[in-house]
């Protein structure tokens, strides 16, 4: 029986497919073969400085394996986390830092790892403190703010003498104020719409969870006005006495208990 013949075009197509398959099967070339750990570290630093974050992370990961068990490998882990953060991959940065803290609990760099973990969440789309950029952390995702606070709190508790603790303490204070202001934002929103019970609940959260925050004056004011609107005179008067003692110059005391006419979100 006569065998079918392949056309010239079919032969060329088959050749191209085989060639591509051969190329695909070749493993990626490791350009760092023969490099010393110090050279890999230097190249990773250069890539990070040039904002080639993906390449820098790849080099730091190779260095972790190449220099395993050495201080340089630990340094690579930390710098990889920072590079991931700079590159916008905050989830990977947090994962890298958690892994470092778990694997190296006795490392002298644990305080830095905790500080950087707090920074990753604190600085999400913000510069240093919101009043610089006119943004408000209290209007952002509260989960990130709380995780940032917990990292800074662990740093301050475990390493009170760390060089990073004073700044972490300032940031903790800011976060507390911002979270309290968030609750007050929501309470004002409910109050402005006549949802007085909901306003009371959110104002009480601010007072209970964030003591000494500047926003607590407004939280007490909202409580006084909400209790008054509901005809709950005893609670209104009790809260008013607390307000008088704590904030003797409160606008509620000087202007009376009138509903705010401005936007609920305006805080200045």
How many separate domains does the chain show? Answer: 2
Q: What is the pLDDT of residues 3-37, one digit of tens each?
A: 555 455 554 555 555 555 555 555 567 788 889 99
Does residue 223 belong to any structural domain of this protein?
yes
Does residue 57 belong to any structural domain of this protein?
yes
Does residue 117 belong to any structural domain of this protein?
no
Q: What is the mean pLDDT of residues 143-149?
A: 89
User: What is the rounded CA–CA span in Å between residue 32 and residue 62?
Assistant: 8
The yes-or-no verdict on residue 189 having pLDDT over 90 is yes
Decide: helix, strand or coil at residue 171: helix
What pLDDT shows up at residue 32? 82
What pLDDT shows up at residue 211? 85
Average the pLDDT over each of 108-112, 160-164, 221-225, 255-259 and give the range with the smallest value. Answer: 255-259
92: exposed, middle or buried (C-beta count within 10 Å: 0-12, 13-18, 19+)? middle
Does residue 227 belong to any structural domain of this protein?
yes
Does residue 9 belong to any structural domain of this protein?
no
What pLDDT shows up at residue 178? 86
Residue 191 sits in a domain whose CATH number is: 1.25.40
The pLDDT > 90 percentage for the chain reads 62
The yes-or-no verdict on residue 266 having pLDDT over 60 is no
What pLDDT shows up at residue 142? 79
Out of 65, 80, 98, a domain closes at 98
Does residue 192 belong to any structural domain of this protein?
yes
The parent domain of residue 79 ranges over: 36-98
Q: What is the pLDDT of residues 213-249, one digit of tens each?
A: 889 999 999 999 999 999 999 999 999 999 999 988 8
105: exposed, middle or buried (C-beta count within 10 Å: 0-12, 13-18, 19+)? exposed
The pLDDT > 70 percentage for the chain reads 76
User: What is the rounded CA–CA span in Å between residue 110 and residue 104?
Assistant: 8
pTM: 0.73
φ and ψ of 104, to 5 deg: -130, 60
Does residue 193 belong to any structural domain of this protein?
yes
**Residue 124 pLDDT grade (very low, low, confident, very high; cuts 50, 70, 90):** very low
Does residue 233 belong to any structural domain of this protein?
yes
User: What is the rounded CA–CA span in Å between residue 65 and residue 57?
Assistant: 13
User: What is the rounded CA–CA span in Å between residue 144 and residue 93?
Assistant: 14
**Residue 119 pLDDT grade (very low, low, confident, very high; cuts 50, 70, 90):** very high
Higher pLDDT, 16 or 90: 90
């Amino acid at each position: 029986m006569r065998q079918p013949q392949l056309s010239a075009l079919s032969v060329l197509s088959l050749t191209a497919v085989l060639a591509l398959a051969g190329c695909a099967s070749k493993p990626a070339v490791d350009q760092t073969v023969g490099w010393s750990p110090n050279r890999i570290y230097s190249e990773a630093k250069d890539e990070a400085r040039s904002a080639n974050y993906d390449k820098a992370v790849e080099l730091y990961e190779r260095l972790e394996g190449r220099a395993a068990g050495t201080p340089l490998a630990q340094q690579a882990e930390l710098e990889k986390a920072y590079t991931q953060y700079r590159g916008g991959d905050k989830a990977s940065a947090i994962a890298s830092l958690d892994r470092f803290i778990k694997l190296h609990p006795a490392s002298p760099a644990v305080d830095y790892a905790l500080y950087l973990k707090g920074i990753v969440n604190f600085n999400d789309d913000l510069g240093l403190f919101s009043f610089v950029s006119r943004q408000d952390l209290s209007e952002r995702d509260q989960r990130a703010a709380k995780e940032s606070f917990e990292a800074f709190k662990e740093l301050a508790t475990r390493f009170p003498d760390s060089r990073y603790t004073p700044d972490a303490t300032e940031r903790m204070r800011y976060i507390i104020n911002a979270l309290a202001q968030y609750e007050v934002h929501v309470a004002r929103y409910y109050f402005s719409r006549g949802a007085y019970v909901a306003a009371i609940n959110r104002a009480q959260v601010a007072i209970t969870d964030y003591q000494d925050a500047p926003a607590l004056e407004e939280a007490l004011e909202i409580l006084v006005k909400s209790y008054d609107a509901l005809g709950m005179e005893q609670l209104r008067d009790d809260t008013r006495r607390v307000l008088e003692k704590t904030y003797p110059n409160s606008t509620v005391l000087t202007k009376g208990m009138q509903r705010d006419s401005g936007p609920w979100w305006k805080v200045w």
